[in-house]
């Protein structure tokens, strides 16, 4: 049987393995004109109980006409497989991966998980294709107390690793599911088996089986997660078609390895009634001691909870913000920055690149190359966004995309997140409040300091989250101080090229999102500590503790320096009163461009 081969470690069971991605001429629904660089294809694994609608969802978005399971029908999908062609949604490419369902008599849950890992490791090793995310379909009304459900979720957590759970989306499906479903809140409650994944950053959505809703949900996935799932580091594929480490890793996760039964030797042991009674009494004494300790611990817990509730009441805390929510908001901001850079770059290449009189222009063909070098601090013999250390240029579309994202990250970091309040950047003493807060943190407890920070920030906000006048001024400074200069240096001042009104509006939306995140971090978060987005300076050595490389590959080392930051990271620190290390801990590393974008290390 197929599953028997898999359990024996036979790796020649991929009769339906993923085909190589089609060439641009073969790609379905691809735009007629290929750009220099497109957003990478997002590869989404669809999992869930048998009959939850995995194949139906794929049918709806791809028109594949796959057989689907019905009540009592049994398992329809018996192997992990991928769509041959990618599907296009909002000019983004997606490839969906179907899988056997959990909780069937045909195939054990352990075998399903083993299939998933074996398949994903093989396509990674053979084609260097990484998984973008996982969509788990949870039928509405399914019993959350089911032991199998909890075991499956724990196994998924160990297989992918907690840092990767932010790339999971759990969708409630069913005939009567609406966009606003109470089921989502039930999955996120502390008593739910999904709760550990919720606090780790996983998304939860209600998903009506309507094409626009499914497409919108798929577009939430990041095509290139900055980190790898855990199993990629434990299981590997190599020629000739062999997978190593699969059995030992799965046995470790699922607890399959049992100690071999001991061989009985000698005559059977006779236990007397007195010995049995003695053993029973010892166990009874141990139980009574344990129950007494448990009662004492419960009493201490109740007392601690009362003291904590009293403290919250005294400080009037209404802080319900969770770390997973903050991470999701940061990802939303980074996605908005990505979209702005990508769309403006595509527009400029379509409408302005012809003025450079080259078929495939690079930064070396810029109208004012020397000024472009000066703008981005290029130094001879060192790589920058403008040129490599060897003198190679970057394709114009790639350059505009990355340059705009870098410009935005720096501006938001310095003008929105670093100041105590964004409106203070134009005051006579812009750093006074930040210095005062640092002194408060040294003097009082963390909670009191955070409460002072939140109250002061709200007072400066005057009850309003975004200050539209200041936001418009920051947008104008971005346009005139950096973006317009960039376009002039590329295409020449005589061409009068600039952002359209739609693009300026999109830029203002990005800055507003940053303000809203900043309002939550400084005006609402109290008990968690002090969050601050992370932006790395250009030219500093690459630090794997605070950075991840843009378009990283395990086949090569990351570049030696960070050229620029194109996605903000996140740090968390506590005041000295917390009794913890005051140096910030990195929650999310920043994404940086390195010289490897030119195929170099420095």
Q: What is the DSSP string of 315-331?
A: HT------HHHHHHHHH
Spell out the SS3 assignment of 472-510: HHHHHHHHHHHHHHHHHHHHCHHHCCCCCHHHHHHHHHH
Backbone dihedral angles phi then psi of residue 401, each to the nearest 5 degrees: -55, -55
**Helix or strand or coil: residue 228?**
coil
Q: How confident is the model at residue 558 (pLDDT cuts 50, 70, 90)?
A: confident
pTM for the predicted model, two decimal places: 0.53
Q: How far is CA 16 from CA 77, 83, 336, in A?
A: 12, 10, 37
pLDDT (tens digit per residue) in 105-115: 888 899 999 99
Backbone dihedral angles phi then psi of residue 537, each to the nearest 5 degrees: -70, 145
Reported residue count of the chain is: 602
**Helix or strand or coil: residue 582?**
coil
Contact 64, 220 (CB under 8 A): no
**Cα–Cα distance for residue pair 413/565, rounded to 1 Å:** 11
Q: How confident is the model at residue 576 (pLDDT cuts 50, 70, 90)?
A: low
Q: Within 10 A of 419 (CB to CB), how many other CB atoms are there?
A: 19
Cα torsion through 208, 210, 215, 217, rounded to 10: -10
Q: Long-range CB contacts (< 8 A, 24+ apart) of 64-72?
A: 66/98, 69/101
| pLDDT at residue 36 tops 60 | no
pLDDT (tens digit per residue) in 182-210: 789 899 999 999 999 999 999 999 999 89
Partners of 530 in the beta sheet?
A: 573
| pLDDT at residue 265 tops 80 | no
**Helix or strand or coil: residue 596?**
helix
Strand 236-238 vs strand 242-244: parallel, antiparallel, or unpaired?
A: antiparallel
Q: Please tell me the least confidently modeled range out of 151-165, 174-188, 529-543, 559-573.
A: 174-188
Closest CA to 171 of 149, 202, 201, 143: 202
Task: Report the pLDDT value the prediction gives residue 303, as an integer from 0 to 100.
Answer: 84
Closest CA to 22 of 73, 76, 92, 93: 93
**Cα–Cα distance for residue pair 474/496, rounded to 1 Å:** 22
Mean of pLDDT over the chain = 83
Mean pLDDT (whole number) for 346-353: 89
Provide the phi-psi class of 433: left if phi over 0, else alpha when psi is between -120 and 50, else beta.
Answer: alpha
Q: What would the two tokens of residue 440 be?
A: 């408060």
pLDDT (tens digit per residue) in 474-491: 999 999 988 999 999 998
**Cα–Cα distance for residue pair 14/236, rounded to 1 Å:** 15
Q: Please tell me the least confidently modeled range out of 104-118, 436-450, 530-544.
A: 436-450
Helix (H) or strand (E) holding 585: strand 585-588
| pLDDT at residue 466 tops 50 | yes
Task: Report the pLDDT value the prediction gives residue 526, as an integer from 0 to 100.
Answer: 86
Residues 6+ apart with CB under 8 A from 453: 437, 440, 522, 530
Q: How confident is the model at residue 375 (pLDDT cuts 50, 70, 90)?
A: very high
What is the separation of C-alpha 79 from the centre of its chain, rounded to a whole number of angstroms?
A: 27
DSSP state, 423? Answer: G
Q: How far is CA 94 from CA 19, 169, 325, 490, in A?
A: 14, 16, 26, 33
């Amino acid at each position: 049987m197929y599953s028997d081969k898999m359990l024996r470690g036979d790796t020649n069971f991929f009769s339906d393995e993923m085909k190589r991605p089609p060439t641009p001429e073969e790609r379905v629904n691809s735009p007629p004109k290929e750009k220099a660089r497109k957003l990478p294809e997002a590869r989404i694994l669809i999992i869930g109980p048998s009959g939850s609608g995995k194949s139906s969802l794929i049918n709806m978005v791809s028109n594949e006409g796959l057989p689907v399971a019905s009540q009592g029908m049994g398992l329809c999908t018996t192997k992990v497989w991928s769509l041959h062609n990618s599907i296009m949604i909002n000019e983004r490419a997606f490839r969906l991966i179907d899988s056997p369902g959990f909780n069937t008599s045909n195939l054990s849950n352990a075998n399903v998980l083993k299939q998933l890992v074996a398949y994903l490791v093989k396509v990674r090793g053979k084609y260097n294709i990484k998984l973008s995310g996982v969509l788990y379909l949870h039928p509405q009304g399914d019993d959350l107390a089911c032991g199998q459900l909890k075991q499956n979720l724990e196994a998924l957590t160990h297989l992918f690793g907690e840092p990767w759970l932010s790339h999971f989306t759990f969708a409630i499906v069913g005939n009567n599911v609406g966009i606003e479903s109470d089921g989502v809140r039930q999955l996120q409650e502390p008593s739910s088996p999904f709760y550990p994944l919720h606090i780790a950053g996983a998304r939860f959505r209600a998903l009506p089986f309507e094409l626009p809703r499914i497409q919108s949900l798929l577009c939430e996935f990041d095509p290139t997660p900055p980190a790898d799932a855990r199993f990629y580091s434990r299981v590997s594929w190599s020629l000739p078609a062999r997978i190593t480490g699969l059995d030992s890793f799965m046995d470790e996760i699922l607890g399959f390895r049992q100690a071999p039964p001991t061989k009985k030797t000698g005559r059977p042991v006779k236990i007397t009634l007195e010995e049995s009674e003695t053993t029973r009494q010892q166990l009874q004494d141990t139980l009574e001691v344990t129950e007494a300790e448990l009662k004492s611990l419960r009493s201490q817990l109740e007392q601690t909870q009362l003291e904590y509730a009293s403290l919250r009441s005294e400080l009037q805390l209404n802080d319900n913000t969770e770390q997973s929510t903050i991470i999701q908001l940061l990802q939303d901001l980074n996605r908005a920055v990505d979209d702005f850079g990508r769309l403006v770059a595509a527009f400029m290449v379509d409408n302005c690149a012809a003025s450079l009189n080259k078929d495939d222009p690079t930064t070396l063909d810029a109208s004012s190359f020397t000024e472009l070098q000066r703008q981005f601090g290029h130094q001879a013999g060192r790589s920058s966004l403008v040129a490599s250390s060897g003198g190679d240029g970057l394709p114009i579309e790639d350059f505009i995309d990355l340059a705009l994202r870098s410009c935005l990250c720096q501006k938001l970091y310095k003008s929105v997140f670093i100041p105590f309040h964004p409106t203070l950047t134009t005051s006579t003493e812009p750093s006074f409040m930040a210095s005062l807060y640092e002194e408060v943190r040294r003097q009082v407890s963390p909670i009191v300091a955070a409460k002072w920070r939140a109250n002061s920030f709200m007072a400066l906000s005057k009850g309003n989250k975004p200050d539209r006048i200041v936001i418009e001024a920051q947008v104008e400074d971005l346009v005139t101080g950096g973006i317009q200069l960039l376009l002039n240096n590329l295409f020449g001042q005589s061409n009068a090229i600039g952002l359209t009104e739609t693009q300026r509006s999109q830029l203002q939306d990005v800055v507003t999102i940053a303000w809203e995140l900043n309002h939550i971090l400084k005006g609402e978060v109290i008990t968690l500590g002090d969050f601050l987005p992370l932006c790395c300076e250009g030219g500093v050595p690459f630090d794997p503790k605070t950075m991840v490389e843009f378009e990283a590959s395990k086949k090569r080392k990351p570049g030696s320096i960070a050229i620029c930051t194109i996605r903000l990271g996140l740090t968390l620190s506590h005041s000295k009163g917390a009794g913890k290390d005051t140096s910030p801990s990195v929650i999310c590393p920043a994404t940086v461009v390195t010289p490897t974008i030119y195929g170099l290390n420095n």
